[in-house]
Chains A and B, each alone.
Chain A
Amino acid sequence: MPKEVEGEYEVFPDNPHKTYGLMAVVKGKSPVVDKSPEDTVMTWPHLLIRELVASVVVMAVLLAISLVLNAPLEEHANLTETPNPAKAPWYFLGLQELVHYSALIGGVIIPGLSLFLLAALPYLDRTPDRAPSKRKLLTVVFTVFIIVNVVLIVIGSYFRGPGWSFIVPWRGGSVQ
């Protein structure tokens, strides 16, 4: 460090737009510890333009679907007549399929437990590596969880007829 000289002088000119200053120049790959050299791009425009394109695509698809497909609206609600079969919205048909076996186990215990396990997942998983191949058991369990969800929803949507009886949709079974 140079000895302080009497009188003021500017090392770096004062710049009101600058909120940072050069502190020191050091040798090395990067000031970030444990990371490879920075390989970054500006958020504007690189990220934002991608998000704009994605947004436009999503909105166009949504508009197109909404122009072609009408949201369902059945008859006025009627307490005295339960439609047959009465189905929940599709994302709850897996739940309805479980409820068909038992309301307490299928409707409360299994969904509640899976939601709890889902939330607790990061604290239960102690495997250090992120790659799925390094945490095979968990990956299998999670994949089974997803597949069971999808299968139950498909069964509830297409394979359940009047009285929640099992039907085969391509053999004249009526699908709603």
Chain B
Amino acid sequence: MSKRAVAAAALVGAMIIGLTACSSGSGSSDGKKSDGKLTIGFAQVGAESGWRTANTKSIQDAAKKAGVTLKFSDAQQKQENQIKAIRSFIQQKVDVIAFSPVVESGWDTVLKEAKAAHIPVILTDRAVDSKDESLYVSFLGSDFVEEGKKAGDWLVKEYASGSGDVNIVQLEGTTGSAPANDRKSGFADAIKGDPKFKIVASQTGDFTRAKGKEVMQAFLKSQPKIDVLYAHNDDMALGAIQAIEEAGKKPGTDIKIVSVDGVKDAFTAMSQGKINFDVECNPLLGDQLMELAKKVKAGESVPRRIQTEEGTFTPEQATAALPSRQY
């Protein structure tokens, strides 16, 4: 049994390594750094969503445009793969390491290795919870609390004139993930000033369409009156829209929907009036990253925290932006 287990595990392991190798090969070029070109090693989380794929593409395109040599690695949502990738970047002596940490903790050792090798590290999209602030030079990414706050602010404005209670149901992201925690607290902060806003039900929909639909169906039956749905991402909102329609109600009219992300499918729904407000969470941070990396390489001081440029969308803006939406 154990021998077979080992053989099977080895087989599976070999497959995974093979896949990783494939995907890392696609993004990187020859890797020579003789001509003084900037070389960046980027360890991506994976390709778990359309958002992430757009993020990857943006970084690859920006690198090409900026004449930067990009060594790209896909960690397939596993921390150990990311740590391996960062170690290999250190060995290859890249100029700057950038990565999107899969989880928040457990990075100190590998980041210390990078520091010892004098390679600056930039975090993108997600933060780490390390106490030693010298381990990375800057964090470029969205402010999830701010996103939640924007969603809440819109709601407060939308219902500024009304006096009756506003019953809100919330579809949370994956329990314990940073975007879920922060989007929840930002939203709660924004609406806490007015007691008429009541979150009557809140459950996790795991950031997926299927779960969003399932949970919303249950909400529609257990809650006698729902005025507003706040979803932590567009996929859950899209699932919930189907549930609302099946219940014989009109999404966007009978139940107002606020969501976060701004993916293409959501814009399509907005153009049909099914989502009322969408807070953008911009994956297109490639250009900003390249600029930042150049500054870091040149020894300029950079801010510790850089926010990606993000906006918010009303249905009209979304309809206008739909044809040019990349993701």
User: Is chain B found bound to chain A in the same assembly?
Assistant: no
**Chain A interface residues (CB < 8 Å from chain B):** none
**Chain B interface residues (CB < 8 Å from chain A):** none
